[in-house]
């Protein structure tokens, strides 16, 4: 596969759509190549199941402004290796 350090950031308008797309990746067997990690207002509850998840914040694309950019040093791996934004 391509660059194993490459990261992608998908911004979904709703939490339900993000969850649906993550399920679709799994249903198509793509999680062998892509590991989705959803970051939304419910992330704290999932941290026990997904140690890669970051800290919680608000919902939807506002997470970029409220949860990621002000804490960009905690997201260094994602931001430094960001290859795609959708």
**Residues 80 and 3: beta-carbon distance below 8 Å:** no
pLDDT of residue 48: 46
pLDDT of residue 57: 42
pLDDT in tens, 23-77: 998 999 988 888 888 887 676 555 544 555 544 444 466 777 777 888 889 889 8
The beta-carbon contacts of 41-45 under 8 Å, at least 24 apart in sequence, are: 41/15, 42/15
More confident position, 14 or 83: 83
Look up the pTM and report it: 0.64
**Residues 8 and 86: beta-carbon distance below 8 Å:** yes
């Amino acid at each position: 596969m391509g660059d194993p350090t490459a990261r992608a950031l998908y911004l979904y308008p709703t939490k339900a759509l993000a969850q649906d797309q993550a399920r679709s990746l799994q249903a198509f067997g793509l999680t062998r190549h892509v590991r989705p990690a959803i970051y939304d207002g419910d992330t704290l509850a999932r941290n026990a199941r997904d140690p890669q998840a970051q800290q919680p914040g608000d919902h939807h694309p506002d997470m970029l402004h409220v949860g990621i950019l002000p804490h960009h040093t905690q997201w260094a791996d994602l931001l430094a290796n960001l290859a795609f934004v959708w």
